[in-house]
């Protein structure tokens, strides 16, 4: 059982780690000013972090410019810095068509990012990737592993409640990952939530307090950030907008119902309308669709309809959540203004009152690794948040 003193120590240690991540190489005196902790407390925490190899003396002597410094009296001592690659978080993205893995260190540097197309045995492909990375880097370096999945996941961050596009249920994925990395903190989280987390830490929503992330794959999901915090709702199901009744009421969805948003704006809906085959990844497929639309008026009209239905759904979300920025990922990225121009027009037409500010629509720059990158960030949460 964790005592109050132990909890306080963990919170203080996490605060020091986050401060080093934010400021880079920093002296003990500067850490005391930046964190509000006493110099003796900082000394004890840094000594412990040095002992386990988390931090070390900055080999350059001082990696920051004068304007980045925290003001202190006197001459600050030699800075300490997080050691690159010492502790790692593993983020995994299990999707219908591909598996992505991202390895992130405590300093926020991406050590590895790779995606692999899959057609069958998706869970086994994810576990095989995990075993490969465990053997490559060593199990003891991974402090956590988080799998992003296109599914409803309970608030325990382990139990899949509903995955209409995957054969997945209960805690089976979390249990399987724990079997590969038994000493790591294991989580399973909705993929849109993970991607939203990545966008506010690494992507085009960095520094934005109120943002939405919309996935653009076979399924459509939404990650919600309010006040800089990921919103998961009472049971962990917040953001499951892909199955809201917006769009063509006759369109059959993968969940078995008609009229779901993703049945109008999801990747498979677009391919059916165009009579095109899916390629290895949503990005590659989106690029092929954009290339066809460059000279095909019928394809342009399909994308115009997708943009209008996308904007209609975003208008509903905006009316409820009032985001500053909406980030679009997946296959929406290569389509760009072929879809966004129509989505913006639909947003303008539907927002009430008309004077209401339309959220800025931005295209993700994180590629297929967005959800896995956010998952890797969450895998480090035990160390960064205490």
Angle (nearest 5°) at CA 16 between 10 and 19: 140
What pLDDT is stored for residue 382 in this prediction? 81
Angle (nearest 5°) at CA 22 between 19 and 23: 85
Domains and CATH numbers, the chain: 4-82 (1.10.10), 88-196+370-384 (3.30.420.40), 206-365 (3.30.420.40)
pLDDT tens digits, one per residue of 358-380: 899 999 999 888 999 999 999 99
Residue 104's pLDDT band, with cuts at 50, 70 and 90, is very high
DSSP symbol at 21: H
Average of per-residue pLDDT across 313-331: 94
* pLDDT at residue 58 is higher than 60: yes
| DSSP sequence for 248-267 | -TTPBPTTS-BSBTHHHHSH
What pLDDT is stored for residue 121 in this prediction? 86
* pLDDT at residue 3 is higher than 90: no
The residues that bridge with 152 in the sheet, in sequence order, are 162
Average of per-residue pLDDT across 299-318: 96
CB neighbour class for 60 (10 Å; exposed up to 12, middle 13-18, buried from 19): exposed
pLDDT tens digits, one per residue of 65-91: 433 445 545 455 789 999 888 899 999
Average of per-residue pLDDT across 111-118: 90
- Closest by CA to 122, choosing from 168, 162, 159, is 168
Average of per-residue pLDDT across 323-352: 94
What pLDDT is stored for residue 1 in this prediction? 46
- Closest by CA to 104, choosing from 372, 385, 386, is 372
Residue 189 near residue 373 (C-beta atoms within 8 A): no
Which structure tokens are listed for 230? 């990921």
The strand ranges marked E within 330-374 are 360-363
Residue 39 near residue 27 (C-beta atoms within 8 A): no
Average of per-residue pLDDT across 25-47: 92
pLDDT tens digits, one per residue of 197-227: 999 999 999 989 999 999 988 889 899 999 8
What pLDDT is stored for residue 2 in this prediction? 55
Helices (H) then strands (E): counts for the chain: 14, 14
* pLDDT at residue 352 is higher than 60: yes
* pLDDT at residue 291 is higher than 60: yes
Q: What is the share, in percent, of the chain residues with pLDDT greater than 90?
A: 65
Residue 100's pLDDT band, with cuts at 50, 70 and 90, is very high
Query: Measuring CA to CA, how many Å separate 345 from each of 283, 296, 348?
Result: 24, 22, 5
What pLDDT is stored for residue 59 in this prediction? 66
Residue 355's pLDDT band, with cuts at 50, 70 and 90, is low
Residue 200 near residue 213 (C-beta atoms within 8 A): no
- Number of Cβ atoms within 10 Å of the Cβ of 257: 13
| DSSP sequence for 269-308 | HHHHHHT----SSHHHHHHHHHHHHTT-HHHHHHHHHHHH
Residue 26 near residue 56 (C-beta atoms within 8 A): no
What pLDDT is stored for residue 386 in this prediction? 65
* pLDDT at residue 267 is higher than 90: yes
* pLDDT at residue 174 is higher than 80: yes
What pLDDT is stored for residue 385 in this prediction? 75
């Amino acid at each position: 059982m964790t005592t109050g003193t132990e909890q306080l120590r963990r919170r203080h240690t996490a605060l020091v780690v986050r401060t080093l991540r934010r400021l880079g190489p920093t002296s003990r005196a500067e850490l005391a000013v930046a964190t509000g902790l006493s110099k003796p407390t900082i000394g004890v925490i840094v000594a412990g972090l040095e002992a386990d190899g988390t931090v070390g003396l900055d080999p350059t002597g001082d990696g920051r410019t004068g304007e980045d410094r925290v003001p202190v009296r006197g001459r600050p001592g030699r800075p300490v810095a997080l050691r690159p690659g010492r502790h790692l978080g593993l983020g995994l993205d299990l999707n219908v068509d591909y598996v992505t893995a991202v390895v992130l260190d405590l300093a926020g540097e991406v050590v590895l990012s790779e995606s692999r197309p899959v057609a069958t045995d998706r869970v086994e492909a994810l576990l095989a990737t995990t075993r490969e990375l465990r053997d490559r880097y060593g199990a003891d370096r991974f402090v956590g592993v988080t799998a992003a999945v296109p599914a409803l996941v309970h608030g325990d961050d382990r139990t899949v409640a509903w995955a209409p596009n995957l054969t997945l249920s209960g805690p089976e994925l979390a249990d399987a990952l724990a079997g590969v990395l038994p000493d790591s903190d294991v989580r399973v989280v909705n993929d849109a939530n993970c991607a939203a987390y990545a966008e506010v830490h690494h992507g085009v929503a960095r520094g934005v307090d109120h943002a939405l992330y919309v996935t653009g794959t076979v399924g459509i999901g939404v990650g919600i950030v309010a006040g800089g915090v990921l919103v998961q709702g009472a049971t962990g199901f917040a953001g499951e907008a892909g199955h809201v009744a917006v769009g063509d009421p006759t369109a059959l969805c993968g969940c078995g119902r008609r009229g779901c948003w993703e049945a109008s704006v999801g990747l498979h809906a677009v391919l059916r309308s165009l009579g095109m085959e899916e390629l290895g990844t949503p990005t590659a497929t989106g690029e092929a669709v954009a290339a066809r639309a460059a000279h095909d008026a019928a394809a342009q009209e399909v994308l115009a309809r997708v943009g209008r239905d996308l904007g209609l759904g975003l208008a509903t979300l905006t009316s409820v959540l009032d985001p500053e920025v909406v980030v679009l990922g997946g296959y929406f990225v290569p389509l760009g203004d072929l879809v966004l121009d129509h989505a913006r027009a639909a947003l303008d037409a539907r927002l009430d009152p008309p004077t209401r500010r339309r959220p800025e629509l931005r295209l993700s720059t994180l590629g297929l690794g967005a959800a896995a990158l956010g998952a890797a960030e969450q895998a480090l949460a035990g160390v960064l948040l205490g």
